[in-house]
Amino acid sequence: MFGKDWRSPLVFAVFVTGVVLASAAGGYVAGSRAEAPARPHITTLFKTDKTVMDEPIVYPTEAPAELTGAIFELAPGQKTPWHVHNVPLAGIVLEGEITVDYGDRGTRTFKAGDALAEAMKVVHRGTNPSDKPVRIFVLYMGAKGVPNTTKVEK
């Protein structure tokens, strides 16, 4: 999660998911096929080989690959438990804002439109400091049988 500094090798999977969702929702207007542009437009949100905490992105290899796409939501004032991610995680803040506490590595606030490659092994916790819900599209680049997130006592 690093605001306007958008870099990640996970952007391809996030882009493909967006194209699939947009294709499922669009393409037809009033029952007839809309004109398709000559070429798709691609806007790179980020491209990186490191997480927001400068960790190298390492994919799990102990099992077959498994992608998990989800919408993560936090109500106003709600906090996540302290946790780590066992797999690479890319996200795009769809609505609201979230402040993530990375312990002695500081805090960062991410708002609607921010794209990120979240920390993996750095213990962190997210908080919704606003009076509106926060919604984040997340894509875990995991492996079958490997938990995407593990709670950590701090």
Whether 4 is covered by a domain: the verdict is no
> How confident is residue 93, by pLDDT bands cut at 50, 70 and 90?
very high
Tell me the CATH number at 71.
2.60.120.10
Q: Residues 6 or more apart from 58 whose CB is under 8 A from it? A: 88, 120
Mean pLDDT check: name the lowest of 19-28, 41-50, 112-121, 124-133: 19-28
Phi first, then psi: what are they for 26, rounded to 5°? -115, -165
Separation of CA 82 from chain center: 17
| Residue 126 domain boundaries | 11-151
Over residues 12-52, the pLDDT tens digits come to 444 444 543 443 344 434 455 667 678 898 999 999 999 99
Confidence (pLDDT) at 154: 82
Whether 29 is covered by a domain: the verdict is yes
pLDDT above 70 coverage of the chain, percent = 77
Into how many domains does the chain fold? 1
